[in-house]
Amino acid sequence: MKAAEGVDLTVDRKEIVGLAGESGSGKSTLALGMLRLLNPPGRVVAGEVLYDGVDILKLPEKDFRENYRWKKLAMVFQGSMSGFTPVFTIGTQISEVLKIHGAEGSEAKVRKLLELVNLDETIGRRYPHELSGGQKQRAFIAMALALEPEVLVADEPTTALDVITQANILNLLKSLRRDFGISILMITHDLAIISETVDRLYIMYAGKMVEEGDSAEFFQKPKHPYSQGLLASTPTLQSKEIKGIPGFMPDLANVPPGCSFVPRCPYAMEVCRREEPKLKGVGRERVACWLY
């Protein structure tokens, strides 16, 4: 079963890039694969992950761990809220990360990190269970930033947080890019969040990239029929109705030939059923669809 195939994704310095897709699209598997976090039996079958020209997939574990993980590439996941162990204080855990990587793990340093994410220094003395969901997520972001990484990969960083806290966390991520030049790969199913946060985006469907490009252009005129359907399914406060996309995403273990969106596509043609479309430039985007 191929969770993701033929995917090409780039994040530049100081860029915020979005990776959007629904459950079963392969986006989370892609992220885990990129960060060498796939648990067996999952594995990366082919491809490279180039960080400043270096293929980090091929590095020996020690090298990756000492030079890249946490130091250059940090991650914040949806389960971040359980990313802390309950038996140590927040401050202790953050300072551990610092010390293990040979940096100074002082209280002052921890306090500075907590300040960065708008958390009171007293949070350092608390245990994870004493914090609210939003505070824990912020604390995890603080920990992810401990070694001043260049890239932050955030997988559904605000799901399960209340709307107001979510907005505050997104503001925080934007300020990290603005003030520290950190690049962010934001992975989420929520197109509304993506629209308010990213410069460029990628849309995945059934393990393939179906549309990618400039965010403003995408939201003005999404090109792939799936993107159009997804956008129509995303309610805003002004929506009078919420459409859906009829049908269901195909079972990744049983993908039929041709374009995987055919059963749900209002524009499906003969060629779509026979041959899988490749990404092609259209405007400031690329789309994988026979309509173009």
Partner 1 sequence: MVRAVDGVSLEVGRGEVVALVGESGSGKTTLGRAAIGLTRPTSGNVILVEGETLTNVGQAKGRKWKSLRRKLQIIFQDPFSSVDPNMKVYDALRIPLQAQGVRSKQEISERIHDVFKRVGLPEQQLSNYVFQLSGGQRQRVGIARVLLFNPAVVVADEPVSMLDASLKGDILNIIGKESKDRGTAFLFITHEMSVARVIAARIAVMYLGNVVEVAPSDAIIEKPLHPYTKALLEASPTIDPSMRDVTKKIGAKDELTLSTQHPTGCKFHPRCPFVMGVCKTEVPHLKEVEPGHWVSCWLY
Tokens of 127: 């245990």
Residue 229 interacts with partner 1 (CB under 8 A): yes or no = yes
Does 10 sit near partner 1 (CB under 8 A)? Answer: no
The residue among 52, 44, 76 whose CA lies nearest residue 169 is 76
Within 90-179, strands assigned E span 151-155
For residues 74-100, one letter each, b for 16 or more C-beta atoms within 10 angstroms of the residue's C-beta and e for the rest, the string is bbbbbebbebbeeeebbbbbbbebbee
The number of angstroms, rounded, from the C-alpha of 147 to the middle of its chain's C-alpha atoms is 20
Query: Binder to partner 1 among 91, 134, 149, 225 (CB under 8 A)?
Result: 134
Q: Is 80 in the site for partner 1 (CB under 8 A)?
A: no
Q: Binders of partner 1: how many residues, by CB under 8 A? A: 57
How far is residue 292's CA from residue 287's CA, in Å, rounded to a whole number? Answer: 8
Closest to partner 1 by CB, 85 vs 106, is 85
The CB-side HSE value for 149 (13 A sphere, CA atoms) comes to: 28
Could you tell me which stretch among 80-88, 107-115, 216-224, 269-277 binds partner 1 (CB under 8 A)? 216-224
Residue 230 interacting with partner 1 (CB under 8 A): yes
Tell me which residue of 67, 23, 59, 52 sits closest to 183, measured CA to CA: 52
Between residue 164 and residue 183, which ones bind partner 1 under the rule CB under 8 A? 164-168, 170-171, 174-175, 178
Task: Give me the least distance between CB of 57 and partner 1, in Å please.
Answer: 30
Least separation in angstroms between CB 95 and partner 1: 21
- Look at residue 47 and give its three-state secondary structure: coil
- Single out the segment in contact with partner 1 by CB under 8 A; choices: 27-35, 50-58, 83-91, 237-245: 237-245
Site string for partner 1, 107-126 (x = CB under 8 A): -------------------x
Q: Which of 192, 217, 195, 191 is nearest to 204 (CA)?
A: 191
- Among 101, 219, 258, 291, contact with partner 1 (rule: CB under 8 A): 219
Binding region for partner 1 (CB under 8 A): 16, 22-23, 126, 129-135, 162-168, 170-171, 174-175, 178, 189-193, 195-199, 215-216, 218-220, 229-231, 233-246, 248-249
